[in-house]
Amino acid sequence: MENQVLTPHVYWAQRHRELYLRVELSDVQNPAISITENVLHFKAQGHGAKGDNVYEFHLEFLELVKPEPIYKLTQRQVNITVQKKVSQWWERLTKQEKRPLFLAPDFDRWLDESDAEMELRAKEEERLNKLRLESEGSPEKSFYDTFHTVADMMYFCQMLAVVETINAAIGVTSSPLLPSLIQLLGRNFILFIVIGTMEEMQNKAVVFFVFYLWSIVEIFRYPFYMLTCVDMDWKVVTWLRYTVWIPVYPLGCLAEAVSVIQSIPIFNETGRFSFTLPYPVKIKVRFSFFLQIYLIMIFLGLYINFRHLYKQRRRRYGQKKKKVT
């Protein structure tokens, strides 16, 4: 006798930009949730109306959605958020006109179209008020809106930094390749992945300190290089170039580590960049696992680069041995 497919109770609601689904399953771990060809696939072991079993369902959406569902597990249910590709109000959830028996409206979150429009307008007004306060010089802007203020410039500068690593690789400069490559990959990982892909990270104060500490070293390093190109040696600039990194570089690595630690629960909650290994293993690998490994690599890179910079400074300012007469 074939096993009967069990479906959980699913409740749904919508806004103009999002769909909300609440799956009535408790004690769920490592659910398989995906969207392919505009169909939501759900399968998980949990405790539902038919006891502790494997439950699954499939829903083909009425209109196009983005294929990256975000879900959050609680002890009593699974909450799934799906982004609509086009901001609009749907007359129903599924492409088929007849509603599936396991699907029902979520009256705890239900709004009709006019109420949803009012909520949308209220959020837009709140956003505009925030922008207005920031433009008037809110004292918190420096810390909490750094990313939105200078992100484009940081992206541009970090992409240009590739040239420095290429120059070291092909011998245009005498700098060793490894320290340059470590700094390039590390900063790009923090900027483009940890901060750039997670909106929840972009308003955190640590972003200000990461960007500030990255920049303060370059403020003295690149003027030193430019002066060297025209055979000029300004002693103050030279001293700053070989000295400022001593406190700033470890602080920068510490700020990067704090940003990674703060991002771990966010990546766990959203499931972004996590994946499930294929059959027969079927183990979910969370992206936070790689972030924890990267934390170790941050301080390994700090040791390598600190050692390199220390050798440079000793060559520049090392004491000459006195001849014994």
Q: Contact 276/237 with Cβ under 8 angstroms? A: no
Please tell me which residue in 212, 256, 279, 303 is annotated as part of the active site. Answer: 256
Q: 263: Cβ–Cβ under 8 A, 6 or more apart, which residues?
A: 194, 195, 198, 201, 291
CA distance 188 to 191: 5
CA distance 252 to 154: 15
Read off φ and ψ for residue 96, nearest 5 degrees: -70, 140
Residue 256 designated active-site: yes
Please tell me which residue in 11, 242, 249, 294 is annotated as part of the active site. Answer: 249
Q: Is 173 helix (H, G, I), strand (E, B) or coil?
A: coil
Percentages helix, strand, coil for the chain (3-state, rounded to 5) are 50, 20, 35
CA distance 161 to 156: 9
- Cite the active site residues: 249, 256
